[in-house]
Amino acid sequence: MAKLWGGRFEAGLDPDAKAFSYSLDWDRRLAPYDILVNLAHAKALFKKGVFSADELETVSIALKALETRIASGDETVWGDDEDIHSCIERQLTECCGDLGKKLHTGKSRNDQVITDTRLFLKDQLNSHRQALLELLETLYHLAEQYRDRLFPGFTHFQPSQPILFSHHLLAYFEKFQRDYQRFELVLKTVDVCCLGSGAMVVNNYGLDRGLIAKELGFSTISMNSMDAVSDRDFCLEYLFSASVCMTHLSRFCEEIVLWVSPIIGFINLSDSFTTGSSIMPQKKNPDIAELIRGKSGRVLGNMVSLIHILKSLPLTYNRDLQEDKELLFDTCDTLNGALICFNKMIRTMTLNDSAIDAALEKGYLLATDFADYLVGKGVPFRESHEITGKTVSYAIQEGKALEDLSLEEFHLFSDRVQEDVFGVLELRHSVDSKQVTGGTATEEVKKQLKRIQEKYKWKKP
């Protein structure tokens, strides 16, 4: 089949230029969406009298048959075509003759590809949202399971204050819940039909764009044809949201990599999500967590690449925009795989109580509680902070925990300390004293879990 644009050219494209510029190898995954777009366009042409009823039926049957062939994995569909649009048109022309050529009336690859891409991304966003819901449910169940488990909280990866492990898990619940909400917002941006915009100035046939949008399941249509074919903001918004989500996955994976190490040993992971070493037979490596952590950089790089592509483009369509889909496809595949594997992986996670209990005895986690105790005795906080620092320094020198100091030893630093200090310097007391909305106190965590259960209607484990 002749090139879609070859009429004014005397020579063919250089073989290297052809290899460099043809995109069918990767944009063929848009085939189901391109067929839907062609079907909707055919109906619009019929409504305007460009197609007869018989022509519409013939084209529709041919397109649906082609859809079946592609879905079945028929590799003979693909040929030496420039892109998915020329491939579909070639197949249709081979089947229907000149009627296949007639279908391109009133549309351009410019408005066609952006409509294909929006349809593709709508499906991907729904997949992401479903995967996130499943991940959120897993986090909820784990938080319920380990609701009362004390755990060391960290800042700068230094022991800081005691928390509940459930509180730690619910921190990630909040992050992934925001990811879900971001994808919902992106879906609204994506849900715009651009078909009918033509190459840049709509078409000369008065095609019913409302009909096209309805046929394709879009909630609205684009309002400016030049913007429609040049806009990739929705791709940027998606790539940003995907980058944030991958960053959240990466942060959790970093903790998993640390926790599962025998040096720390807070958790165990199933063999199903770890691998061994080719030379060190004792190794059990958290490779899936490491890969998710590593792949987050690819997703971020895809976002930066698209911003760079767009930053100097004049209106309207430029061939540079062809590069958006490889970035988009790679991000969608990476995020889908990461969400599925991460969710399955953390379902296998179990806690090592002895290692966690040992860690709770390190790092003077109750120091802040002691400082607050002094405030309750009338000592200004800045002064109590100083007193606490000196007391901790003394305890380190003596090789004692803060709670193991005698009252006489406390009096070396402040005579405000009384016998009741020993009731304060307890891990459970420390946790349950955080009775503020959003806090780690047992009752506050219970409230948060209840709010989650009421919102999502998940069954308790």
pLDDT of residue 164: 98
Residue 12's pLDDT is what? 78
Active site residues: 156, 277
CB 138 within 8 A of CB 110: no
pLDDT at position 11, please? 67
Contacts with 219 (C-beta within 8 Å, 6 or more apart), sequence order: 191, 192, 213
Rounded (5°) CA angle 87-15-69: 20
Strands 150-155, 158-164: pairing kind? antiparallel
Tokens, residue 262: 């025998």
DSSP H or E run through 248: helix 233-260
* Nearest Cα residue to 366 out of 401, 413, 397, 405: 401
Query: Quick one: pLDDT at residue 13?
Result: 82
Q: What is the pLDDT of residue 8?
A: 61
Residuewise pLDDT in 10s, the chain (461 residues): 555 545 566 667 898 899 899 999 999 999 999 999 999 999 999 999 999 999 999 999 999 999 999 999 999 999 999 999 999 999 999 999 999 999 999 999 999 999 999 999 999 999 999 999 999 999 999 999 999 999 999 999 999 999 999 999 999 999 999 999 999 999 999 999 999 999 999 999 999 999 999 999 999 999 999 999 999 999 999 999 999 999 999 999 999 999 999 999 999 999 999 999 889 989 999 999 999 999 999 999 999 999 999 999 999 999 999 999 999 999 999 999 999 999 999 999 999 999 999 999 999 999 999 999 999 999 999 999 999 999 999 999 999 999 999 999 999 999 999 999 999 999 999 999 999 999 999 999 999 999 999 999 998 77
Q: How far apart are CA 56 and CA 54, in angstroms?
A: 5
Res 460: pLDDT: 79
Say what the pLDDT of residue 6 is.
54
- Judge whether 419 and 100 are in contact, CB under 8 Å: no
CA 85 – CA 247 distance, rounded (Å):
35
The single-letter DSSP state of residue 262 is T
For residue 162, the cross-strand partners are 152
Write the CB contacts of 145 (distance below 8 Å, at least 6 apart in sequence).
461
DSSP alpha helices (H): ranges in 287-433? Answer: 287-310, 324-347, 353-360, 367-376, 381-398, 407-411, 421-424, 427-432
Q: Are 165 and 184 in contact (CB under 8 A)?
A: no
| Cα–Cα dist 381/390, whole Å | 14
